[in-house]
Amino acid sequence: MFAAPVNRLISELARLPGVGQRTAQRLAFHILRVSDEEALALADAIREVKETVGHCEVCFNLAVGPRCNICLDERRDGGVICVVEEPSDVIPIERTHEFSGRYHVLGGALSPIDGVDPEDLHIEELMRRLGAGEVRELVVATNSTTTGEATALYLADQLRERAPGVTVTRLASGLPVGADLEYADEVTLGRAFRSRHTL
Nearest to 109 by CA among 155, 169, 166, 171: 155
**Residue 5, interface with a copy of itself (CB under 8 A)?**
yes
CB nearer to a copy of itself: pick between 22 and 160: 22
Q: What is the DSSP string of 165-188?
A: TSEEEEPPP-PPTT--GGGS-HHH
**Residue 72, interface with a copy of itself (CB under 8 A)?**
no
What b-and-e string marks burial along 2-25, b requiring 16 or more CB atoms within 10 Å of the CB? eeeeeeebbeebbeeeebeeeebb
Site for a copy of itself in 16-45 (CB under 8 A): 16-18, 23, 25-33, 36, 38-45
Contacts of 36 (CB under 8 A, 6+ apart): none
CB nearer to a copy of itself: pick between 17 and 164: 17
Pick from 48, 114, 117, 124: which binds a copy of itself (CB under 8 A)? 48
Q: Which residues sit at the interface with a copy of itself, rule CB under 8 A?
A: 1-6, 8-9, 12-13, 15-18, 23, 25-33, 36, 38-50, 52-53, 62-64, 69, 86-88, 91, 94-95
